[in-house]
């Protein structure tokens, strides 16, 4: 079985300025239909999008404009508070799925030690470490959403129950690792 090389591109913006973030996403327009893209966002969020601290948020409309030029299927994973606000991006593109740590009106949760986003941690464990029942993103999402962790007092907590998968075109079922 032949494998496809994986290209990873990390985006870093020292000041977290809105235009810097948008400029660094322009490479998505260079991808072909044979490529696959996974965009993971972990920052602070608000009801309008991803917070860029003083320069305005990156909004669903901003991402829609960028993804119109992207020929590749793309999965966007948002771990910040109000992540579900980006669900509309999946509806506007036949090639996109959005995984959100919480709904548009909720806050996301940190791990008990407050060092990680709980949902992103669970999704990583399920998808990349192989604890899901299949290698698809959809299976990993279900595993992460249903994960029950123990808090610092030994009590079980379902910290990912409000995670959302916006996938009107079935992209997540075909995204395999």
- For residue 147, what is the domain's CATH number? 3.40.50.1460
Domain count, the chain: 1
Phi and psi of 50, rounded to 5°?
-90, 125
Angle between helices 118-127 and 137-145 (to 10 degrees): 140
Sequence-separated (6 or more) residues with CB below 8 Å from residue 104: 47, 82, 83, 84, 85, 87
**3-state SS, residue 5:** coil
**Whole-model pTM?**
0.79
120 domain residue, yes or no: yes
What pLDDT, on a 0 to 100 scale, did the predictor assign at position 154? 55
What pLDDT, on a 0 to 100 scale, did the predictor assign at position 2? 38
**3-state SS, residue 174:** helix
On whether the CB atoms of residues 93 and 67 are closer than 8 A, the answer is yes
Among 108, 114, 137, 106, smallest CA distance to 39 is for 137
pLDDT in tens, the chain (177 residues): 334 444 556 655 555 788 888 888 888 888 888 888 888 887 788 899 888 877 889 999 998 888 888 888 888 888 888 988 998 888 777 788 888 888 899 887 766 666 667 777 777 777 777 666 666 777 777 777 777 665 545 555 556 677 788 888 888 777 765
8 domain residue, yes or no: no
9 domain residue, yes or no: no
3 domain residue, yes or no: no
Query: Which burial class, exposed, middle or buried, applies to 38 when counting CB atoms under 10 A from its CB (0-12, 13-18, 19+)?
Result: middle
11 domain residue, yes or no: no
List 45's β-bridge partners, or say none. 50
Nearest 10 degrees: CA dihedral of 89, 95, 98, 99? Answer: 180
On whether the CB atoms of residues 28 and 37 are closer than 8 A, the answer is yes
Among 93, 32, 36, smallest CA distance to 66 is for 93
38 domain residue, yes or no: yes
10 domain residue, yes or no: no
58 domain residue, yes or no: yes
Alpha-carbon distance 114 to 101, whole Å?
Answer: 15
What pLDDT, on a 0 to 100 scale, did the predictor assign at position 1? 33
Q: Show the 3-state SS of 59-80.
A: CHHHHHHHHCCCCCCEEEEECC
Range of the domain at 74: 18-172
């Amino acid at each position: 079985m032949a494998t496809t090389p994986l290209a990873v591109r990390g985006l870093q913006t020292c000041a977290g300025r809105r235009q810097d973030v948008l400029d660094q996403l322009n490479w998505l327009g260079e991808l072909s239909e044979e490529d696959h893209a996974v965009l993971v966002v972990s920052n602070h969020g608000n009801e309008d999008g991803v917070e860029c601290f003083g320069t305005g948020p990156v909004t669903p409309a901003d991402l829609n404009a960028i993804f119109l030029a992207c020929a590749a299927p793309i999965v966007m994973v948002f771990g910040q508070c109000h992540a579900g606000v980006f669900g509309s991006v999946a509806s506007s593109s036949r090639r996109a799925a959005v995984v959100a740590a919480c709904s548009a009106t909720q806050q996301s949760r940190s791990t008990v030690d407050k060092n990680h986003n709980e949902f992103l941690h669970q999704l990583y464990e399920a998808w990349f470490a192989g604890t899901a029942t299949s290698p698809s993103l959809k299976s990993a999402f279900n595993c992460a959403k249903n994960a029950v962790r123990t808090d610092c007092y030994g009590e079980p907590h379902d910290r990912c129950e409000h995670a959302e998968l916006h996938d009107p075109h079935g992209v997540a079922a075909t995204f395999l690792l």
